Chain A
């Protein structure tokens, strides 16, 4: 990160500082939670009061705070729906039942829900990022082993690796995930949920996440194997011969000469694979996990608002931009070997 020094990029630093300052000022000026909720109408207050004496909750109080703007809503569902919505911005509280304030409020609420703020790690953007990152890490590790197996001179090893890659690239990820989540426990008589503390209400989701991670990693391993293999085979044959001449054995040649050079050639493809997995992560809806896409579809079903897809796209782009930046850096770093 050498090139981020103040001397080299004064403009960027200043821009960032100014933006940060504006954000901080706006965040400070934003009205507080109490201020937003104090606007509640007497009828709603009565309903909230009634809720406290009943086992049945009717009013849902929502408070979302997103950097510079916040949103509060009190709503009852049911046939005669009642709702009150407020948006707080720059020291003012606006009723958000119609007009621009309504759209702003919706955006805050949707973004908040899709980011999975205040939720556990298996929710929203956190789930997507965690699953994608772990999958790529495990995928590359598994892929390297498979690639070495496939180019190995031992026939059995080579055939086995080839068969693995053929199987996982030749079948859809969704079905692989179903098999891992439903079929495997069915055959071996265990439940993913039981791998976690049974008294934990989240155990089901943890089990589903583990199953998804295993399916994604096994699948990604097959794709990464081909990436690693092609990168290794793109290194000039002369390098193998030179290493041999220097008295290195196969393991030494691979680990010290070939693989370090091939990493740079892998990065663009791994980056590609990363982005593919990021989007494939939405398949986890099928085993009950709530990622960005699932949450946005869910919001559309219940509110019929097509606006929800705009923040969803922005969140995806921000994640892609962030990781694209990191892959760029890694690629530059490994370019020294070329």
Chain B
């Protein structure tokens, strides 16, 4: 008997929940779209659909790309950059949310470019081409603000406990230092970068090794932390990945990025997402 009531209730709730929900707020059409004055020639570029730049993006890597509170509007640094680039080319942007696995297989098939915090590496350059880098990322060491230790290279982390995010560049780098015996360091690898900063704050670890872009975001939102060292010798550069044959599009995107750089748009967007303290 009881089971029946429960089932009936469940059915009712499902049906009601699926059917009876109110309207979501529709974003008003972009009023500025009409003012677009494309200045860059894209006649050499190959696009999957006319007038649209289809962009593959793994939405879920804040602050580069993330869904806003409504669960469907992509926002973030990459989104701003690629939207501005498309504006320059006189194209509409269509962001296609993609899993990171296979994101490169989709270039030229499901979307024209991938703009998703993609690091430019020699391996990747064999199968695709990249735009000029639009952001530089370094490995950085973050300490508590009141810590007066001097860090002038990763070697100074000798004897410390550090937290970092699993399977990131930071992880690979520090594991290298440790496994080669260069320094003696205790590595605490976390699933989430947020856990690393909590550990640092709680005194569980002495330092956090992390992407400088992410560190900038944290420094900006809290006075507790400071960047003690940034490995500026080895920059990781993020670029927009483009299909190998599509050099026409590459040229156009590079031109757009150059203009955006000159207009100060990239700096301004960087400040907005990562905080003005950076760079």
Candidates B68, B75, B105; contact of A182 at CB < 8 Å: B105
Interface segment among A55-63, A150-158, A165-173, A274-282: the answer is A55-63
Interface segment among B3-11, B127-135, B168-176, B203-211: the answer is B3-11
CB distance from A105 to the nearest CB of B (A): 10
Q: Is the CB of B272 within 8 A of A78?
A: yes
CB distance from B20 to the nearest CB of A (A): 6
Q: Is the CB of B69 within 8 A of A63?
A: no
Closest A residue to B218 by beta carbon equals A79
Q: Is the CB of B109 within 8 A of A193?
A: yes
Main secondary structure on chain B at its contact with chain A? Answer: mixed
Question: With a CB–CB cut-off of 8 A, which chain A residues contact B12?
Answer: 16, 19-20
CB distance from A179 to the nearest CB of B (A): 12
Bound Cα distance A208, B28 (Å): 29
Bound Cα distance A113, B25 (Å): 13
B264: CB under 8 A from chain A?
Answer: no
Whether A319 touches B96, Cβ cut-off 8 Å, given contacts A77-B66, A109-B69, A204-B110, is: no
Question: With a CB–CB cut-off of 8 A, which chain B residues contact A40?
Answer: none
Q: Is the CB of B5 within 8 A of A298?
A: no
Bound Cα distance A115, B30 (Å): 27
Q: Is the CB of B70 within 8 A of A62?
A: yes
A46: CB under 8 A from chain B?
Answer: no
Candidates A19, A113, A285; contact of B9 at CB < 8 Å: A19
Q: Is the CB of A63 within 8 A of B1?
A: no
Candidates A79, A113, A117; contact of B217 at CB < 8 Å: A79
Q: Is the CB of B14 within 8 A of A325?
A: no
Closest B residue to A185 by beta carbon equals B109
Q: Is the CB of B63 within 8 A of A79?
A: yes
Bound Cα distance A53, B109 (Å): 35
Question: With a CB–CB cut-off of 8 A, which chain B residues contact A295?
Answer: 71
Q: How many residues of A contact B (CB 8 A)?
A: 71
Question: With a CB–CB cut-off of 8 A, which chain B residues contact A62?
Answer: 24-25, 68-71
Question: With a CB–CB cut-off of 8 A, which chain A residues contact B109?
Answer: 185, 191, 193
Closest B residue to A23 by beta carbon equals B16
Please provide the chain A residues from 60 to 96 with a CB less than 8 Å away from any CB of chain B in the complex: 60-67, 70, 73, 75, 77-81, 83
Q: Is the CB of B102 within 8 A of A75?
A: no
Bound Cα distance A304, B99 (Å): 20
Bound Cα distance A157, B8 (Å): 46
Q: Is the CB of B7 within 8 A of A77?
A: no
Closest A residue to B66 by beta carbon equals A302
Question: With a CB–CB cut-off of 8 A, which chain A residues contact B9?
Answer: 15-16, 19
Bound Cα distance A61, B4 (Å): 41
Q: Contact residue range for chain B?
A: 35 or more
Q: Is the CB of B31 within 8 A of A53?
A: yes
Question: With a CB–CB cut-off of 8 A, which chain A residues contact B60?
Answer: 297-298, 301-302
A322: CB under 8 A from chain B?
Answer: yes
A201: CB under 8 A from chain B?
Answer: yes
Candidates B75, B111, B217, B272; contact of A60 at CB < 8 Å: B75
Question: With a CB–CB cut-off of 8 A, which chain B residues contact A207?
Answer: 110
Q: Is the CB of B13 within 8 A of A63?
A: no
B23: CB under 8 A from chain A?
Answer: yes
B190: CB under 8 A from chain A?
Answer: no
Question: With a CB–CB cut-off of 8 A, which chain B residues contact A119?
Answer: 72
Closest B residue to A287 by beta carbon equals B99
A233: CB under 8 A from chain B?
Answer: no
Q: Is the CB of A63 within 8 A of B10?
A: no
B87: CB under 8 A from chain A?
Answer: yes
The 8 A-B residue pairs with the shortest CB-CB distance, nearest first, are A65-B22, A55-B32, A60-B68, A113-B71, A62-B70, A79-B275, A118-B24, A117-B21
Interchain residue pairs with CB less than 8 A apart (13): A16-B12, A56-B83, A57-B27, A60-B70, A63-B24, A64-B22, A67-B17, A78-B63, A79-B276, A118-B21, A182-B102, A286-B99, A302-B62
13 extra A-B contacts, CB within 8 A, seeds A62-B71, A83-B69, A182-B105: A11-B1, A27-B20, A57-B27, A62-B70, A63-B22, A64-B22, A79-B272, A81-B221, A112-B21, A117-B18, A182-B102, A193-B110, A321-B6
